[in-house]
Amino acid sequence: MPRRALIVDDNAANRELLAIMLQRLGYSGVGVSEAQSARDMMERELFDVVFLDLKLANGCGLDLAREVRSRQGEKRPWLVAVSGISPEEGAGLVRPDGFDAFLPKPFSVEDLSRVIESLPARA
């Protein structure tokens, strides 16, 4: 069974491109455009990893990441920030109360693979 990924980005083209790249890496990706839709999906389905755009039309990816951490604790999916900010700024988002990894835009399948491989295995 393919691993599951949730893509949260208000840009449809970005969601589709990331889903295609994830499929090449053995993931089944589903995309939503807003934070509330992501909350609803995570209540109904289990995901291995969630890719969150930092700047959503109706919210902030960091706020959603913090909410997921507080609600789901250690059973939560991996949280990856996706943004066009600098790698230095993105590295500051990877912390105990934020994201597990940062993927700077634009990115290649190889970049995506490296980020996924950097996530520790869960029992």
Q: Is the dihedral of CA 101, 48, 46, 69 positive or negative?
A: negative
Report the alpha-carbon distance of residue 59 to residue 113 in Å, rounded: 27
What are the boundaries of each domain within the chain? 3-109
The 3-class secondary structure across 21-39, one letter per residue, is: HHHHCCEEEEEECCHHHHH
What topology is assigned to 3-109 in CATH? Rossmann fold (3.40.50)
Q: Evaluate if pTM is beyond 0.75.
A: yes
The answer for residues whose C-beta is within 8 angstroms of residue 114's C-beta and 6 or more apart is: none
Tens of pLDDT, residue by residue over 96-119, are 878 999 999 999 999 999 999 999
Q: Give the chain's mean pLDDT.
A: 92
Tens of pLDDT, residue by residue over 19-50, are 999 999 999 999 999 999 999 999 999 999 99
Phi-psi map region of 73: left, alpha, beta (phi>0 left; psi -120 to 50 alpha) = left
Report the alpha-carbon distance of residue 102 to residue 85 in Å, rounded: 10
